[in-house]
A and B are shown apart, each in its own frame.
Chain A
Amino acid sequence: MRPPVPTEMSCRELVELVTAWHEGALPLADRTRFEMHLCLCTGCRGYVQQMRRTIEVTGRLTEEDVAPAARKDLLRAFRQFARSKGEPR
């Protein structure tokens, strides 16, 4: 069924554009329709918020320190390399 107002964006369409919008890659007309839809739709505001939180959680995934064994191996590899180049340590 054709939407009563053709310039509208449905929620299903919005969720497919979230990444492009977040990256600033939407052309202005689509960005406008996207943001106007956010003004009137709490569900989509909720989805965008969830997506922001998802990116935050992903960004916090814990650092793992270099395992001692790996560090030893790397140091050995470096010293071999330095010797082969005849460089001072």
Chain B
Amino acid sequence: MIAWKFLSAGAIGPFTGFRWPRPDAGGPGPWVRAPEGAPWERWVFACRPRDLPFWLDEELWRIELDGPIREAEFQVAAPRARLVDKVAAWDAGARLAFGEACALRARDAAARALEEAGQPEAGRLREAAGLAAIQAAAERLAAPGGEIGGYVADAARAARAGRAATSAYVTAVLAARLAGGPHGADAERVWQSEWLVARLGP
């Protein structure tokens, strides 16, 4: 099975510090296996498309998994895996674009909610173009009780600073708040993974 894996610069595991052996000119990299008899919690983890928004990091790799595949809520696991190739489409530009796209979703969701609540500020928010303007308009809204504006400002601020994962997270939390439950966040994450898959290519 081919899956995705986010790694820190130099193909290093962000949490374990494990240095993944990289593919050379020919084909995939060498197989890496979990220690003999290791429980599946210690296997190699990877992303399905729907998991991508949660695990953003500097490098994205296609990874081949071998052995019994174990599916979990936010990841898949396998006892053996090898890096296939680095996803060139995931670069700094893609990351910035993703963060910005999420912040715009936050703006639109907030503007819609405010309109439905009959609040005139919605228009000003919807008109704000560019992250800096969105942040400013949202901050004006974020008076006591204006937490919807606060979320939008948080998302825009994170996106401007290049913190795409934060922007995505804030947008999902806002969606949950507006929907009145976690299903709102889940739906937003589905949109996010579709954006990523479309941008990254097959």
Q: Which residues of B contact A (CB under 8 A)?
A: 14-15, 41, 54-57, 72-75, 163, 165-166, 168-169, 172-173, 176-177, 181-182, 184-185
CB-based closest 5 A-B pairs: A4-B176, A40-B169, A28-B41, A40-B165, A5-B185
Contacting pair B176 A40 (CB below 8 A) = no
Contacts of A35 in B (CB 8 A): 14-15
Contacting pair A4 B182 (CB below 8 A) = yes
Give residues 29-83 of A contacting B (CB, 8 Å).
Answer: 29, 31-32, 35-36, 38-42
Contacting pair B182 A5 (CB below 8 A) = yes
Q: Given A4-B177, A4-B185, do A39 and B74 touch, yes or no (CB 8 Å)?
A: no
Give Cα A38 to B182, complex, Å.
20
Give Cα A18 to B11, complex, Å.
24
Expressed in whole angstroms, the minimum distance between the Cβ of A44 and any Cβ of chain B is: 11
Q: Give chain A's interface secondary structure class.
A: helix
Expressed in whole angstroms, the minimum distance between the Cβ of B166 and any Cβ of chain A is: 5
Expressed in whole angstroms, the minimum distance between the Cβ of B71 and any Cβ of chain A is: 13
Contacts of A38 in B (CB 8 A): 14-15
Contacting pair B74 A36 (CB below 8 A) = yes
Contacts of B177 in A (CB 8 A): 4
A86 contacts partner chain B, Cβ-Cβ < 8 Å: no
A28-B41, A39-B57 given; 16 more Cβ-contact pairs under 8 Å: A4-B177, A4-B185, A5-B176, A5-B185, A8-B173, A29-B73, A31-B41, A32-B72, A35-B15, A36-B74, A39-B54, A39-B55, A39-B165, A40-B168, A40-B169, A41-B166
Could you list 5 A-B pairs, sorted by A, with CB under 8 Å? A5-B182, A6-B182, A7-B182, A32-B73, A41-B166
Closest residue of A by beta carbon distance from B176? A4
Highest count of chain B CB atoms <10 Å: which of A4, A31, A42: A4
Give Cα A81 to B73, complex, Å.
64
Closest residue of A by beta carbon distance from B165? A40
Expressed in whole angstroms, the minimum distance between the Cβ of B95 and any Cβ of chain A is: 12
Expressed in whole angstroms, the minimum distance between the Cβ of B117 and any Cβ of chain A is: 18
Expressed in whole angstroms, the minimum distance between the Cβ of B150 and any Cβ of chain A is: 13
Closest residue of B by beta carbon distance from A24? B42
